[in-house]
C-alpha cells in the first residue's frame, strides 16, 4: 500500500495478455511478491451465485439463459469486493476489463472508493508463439478448444476488444508493455522493475 500525504493508496494492477501469454503464471507471482488480492470476475460471479446474494441471483438469471452478465452487475460485485477488502495492499485485475466500456466503468467505480488503477501491464507475445504454446497445451491437456482455428478466432476477439482499451490506458500514462517471451523469471523481473519504479 502506498502512503502519500497520509492518504493510503492501493497498488491496483490490470494485467493484459492474449490467450497463451502466461498471464495466469505471472499474476500468481505478482500476488505472492506484492501481497495483492487476485480479482477474477469468473471466480467472483461463481462465488456470488453460490452465496445466493442479490447480485448473484441477477447474474444467474442471465447466465442460465446463456447470456453475458451485464457490466453494471459485474462492476457492482467488484465494488462490494473492494469495500470488503479495504485492508489489502491492492488488487490485480485479471481478465477484466475486457472492453473500453468496462475500463471506463472500472475507473468510475474505483474513483468513488477513493482509488484508481495504478498500472496496466500488457504481456506482448508474437502470434506464432501464442499459437504454438496453445497447441502444445492442447496436446498435453486434451482441451478440444486448443486447436488452430479456435485459437486464431480467440486471438482476433482479444485484439478487437483490447486494442481500444490499451489506447485508453496509454493516454492515461498507465500502460506498460512487457516483452512476454523468454523465461518466466525474466518476464517477471521486467514486470517487477516497472512496479518498483512506480512504488518509489
Tens of pLDDT, residue by residue over 81-96, are 999 998 899 999 988 9
Q: Which of the residues 46, 137, 166, 174 is marked catalytic?
A: 137
Domain ranges of the chain: 2-192
8 Å CB contact between 135 and 151: yes
Clarify whether 23 is annotated catalytic.
yes
Q: Do the Cβ atoms of 123 and 17 come closer than 8 Å? A: yes
Taking the C-alpha atoms of residue 27 and residue 96, their distance in angstroms, rounded to an integer, is: 13
Measured over all CA atoms, what is the biggest interatomic distance in the chain, rounded to whole angstroms?
Answer: 53
Indicate which residue of 50, 136, 143, 156 is catalytic.
143
143 catalytically annotated: yes
Q: Class of 2-192 per CATH?
A: alpha beta
pLDDT tens digits, residue range 159-173?
A: 998 889 999 999 999
- State yes or no: is 137 an active-site residue: yes
d(CA 13, CA 140): 31
Asked if 121 and 104 count as a contact pair (C-beta separation under 8 A), the reply is no
Amino acid at each position: 500500500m502506498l502512503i502519500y500525504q497520509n492518504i493510503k493508496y492501493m497498488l491496483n494492477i490490470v494485467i493484459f495478455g492474449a490467450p497463451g501469454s502466461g498471464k495466469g503464471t505471472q499474476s500468481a507471482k505478482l500476488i505472492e511478491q506484492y501481497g495483492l488480492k487476485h480479482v477474477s470476475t469468473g471466480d467472483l460471479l461463481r462465488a456470488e451465485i453460490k452465496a445466493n446474494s442479490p447480485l448473484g441471483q441477477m447474474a444467474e438469471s442471465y447466465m442460465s439463459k446463456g447470456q453475458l452478465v451485464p457490466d453494471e452487475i459485474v462492476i457492482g460485485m467488484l465494488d462490494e469486493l473492494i469495500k470488503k477488502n479495504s485492508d489489502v495492499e491492492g488488487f490485480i485485475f485479471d481478465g477484466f476489463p475486457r472492453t473500453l466500456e468496462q475500463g471506463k466503468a472500472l475507473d468510475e467505480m474505483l474513483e468513488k472508493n477513493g482509488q484508481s488503477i495504478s498500472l496496466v501491464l500488457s504481456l506482448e507475445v508474437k502470434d506464432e508463439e501464442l499459437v504454438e504454446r496453445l497447441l502444445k497445451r492442447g496436446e498435453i491437456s486434451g482441451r478440444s478448444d486448443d486447436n488452430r482455428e479456435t485459437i486464431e478466432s480467440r486471438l482476433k476477439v482479444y485484439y478487437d476488444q483490447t486494442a481500444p482499451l490499451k489506447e485508453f490506458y496509454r493516454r492515461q500514462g498507465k500502460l506498460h508493455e512487457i516483452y512476454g517471451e523468454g523465461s518466466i523469471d525474466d518476464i517477471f523481473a521486467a514486470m517487477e522493475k516497472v512496479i518498483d519504479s512506480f512504488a518509489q
